[in-house]
Amino acid sequence: MEKNSDAAIKLQSIYIPTVESSTNTLLMQRDFSDYTVIYTFNQISGRGRLGRQWVNIPNKNLAFSIGLRSLKCQPIWITAALSVAATTALEKNGLAGTWIKWPNDIFVGQSKLAGVLTESTWENNKIDKCVAGIGINLNSSDEELRSTVTDKQATSFFAQTNKKINLEHFANCLQENIVDCLELLKNGGVSYMKQLWLSKAKLIGEKAELSEIYKSSSVISGVIENIDDNGFLYFNDGTKTFRVVTGDIKIIF
């Protein structure tokens, strides 16, 4: 039967008490149907971009992945959709001042709260399936983060608000916002998603340091000039402007 492209998105959500690998890995290993979600509050081997580890603090944080097959857009806009949905969910639950750092991190002030990892498999030069995952520090204390996370910028919802959040409630809130963002992409709203993403990002015109363009590349100082419709960053190092497809950005406050 042909699918109705106008049908509303409905997530097929699966909660798993403990994920030994990562939610992205677990979902990638499955022959999932469109809009399948796996989430847990105890992910043992979380992963981030550039081979980085996402540290686990059991039953304090959220690890969430969604599998996509039919959405026709660049993976960067899937990352953008999850980032916008997460910042919206955090704001709805009382955490103000969150912002998105290109291409996939969520910060509050100068501290990192969450990260998105989008991965794809290809078949016949087309994306066969896409899995987008997000890890969000929710109820971890400052002490727990300092004792387990090497990134000194790490923070959490609790560390910022001094309030514990119901993890299941937040997972449901996040899923509602993800559906809204994916509906936007499904209906051709990439340009609007870009506007939403940039409105929540601290990017254009900011002084920054650029690294990890390739393995062991040197750090380049400059200014972020633009983000194009493919999600690529344009960086001016003081002598020229060039396009950045991948890399790591550090905003200079």
Contacts (Cβ under 8 Å, ≥6 apart) of 10:
35
pLDDT in tens, the chain (253 residues): 234 456 889 999 999 999 998 999 999 999 999 999 999 999 987 555 445 555 678 899 999 999 999 888 888 999 999 999 999 999 999 999 999 999 889 999 999 999 999 998 888 778 888 999 999 999 999 888 888 766 668 899 999 999 999 999 999 999 999 999 999 999 888 999 999 999 998 789 999 999 988 767 789 999 999 999 888 999 999 999 999 988 889 999 8
pLDDT reported for residue 71: 85
What is the C-alpha R_g of the chain? 18
Strands 36-40 and 220-227: unpaired
User: Could you tell me which residues are beta bridge partners of residue 73?
Assistant: none
pLDDT reported for residue 6: 64
pLDDT reported for residue 55: 66
Strands 12-15 and 36-40: parallel
Q: What angle do CA 164, 166, 167 make, to 5 degrees?
A: 110
Record the pTM.
Answer: 0.90
| Calpha distance 194→76 (Å, rounded) | 10
pLDDT reported for residue 198: 92
* DSSP conformation letters of the chain: ----TTSPP--EEEE-S-BSS-HHHHHHTS-PPTTEEEEES-BSSEE-GGG-EE---TTTSEEEEEEESS--S-HHHHHHHHHHHHHHHHHHTT---EEEETTTEEEETTEEEEEEEEEEEEETTEEEEEEEEEEE--S--HHHHHHH-S-TTB--HHHHHS----HHHHHHHHHHHHHHHHHHHHTT-HHHHHHHHHHTB--TT-EEEEE-SSTTPPPEEEEEEEE-TTS-EEEE-SS-EEEESS-EEEE--
Whether residue 149 contacts residue 55, with contact meaning beta carbons closer than 8 Å, is answered with yes
pLDDT reported for residue 50: 45
pLDDT reported for residue 4: 43
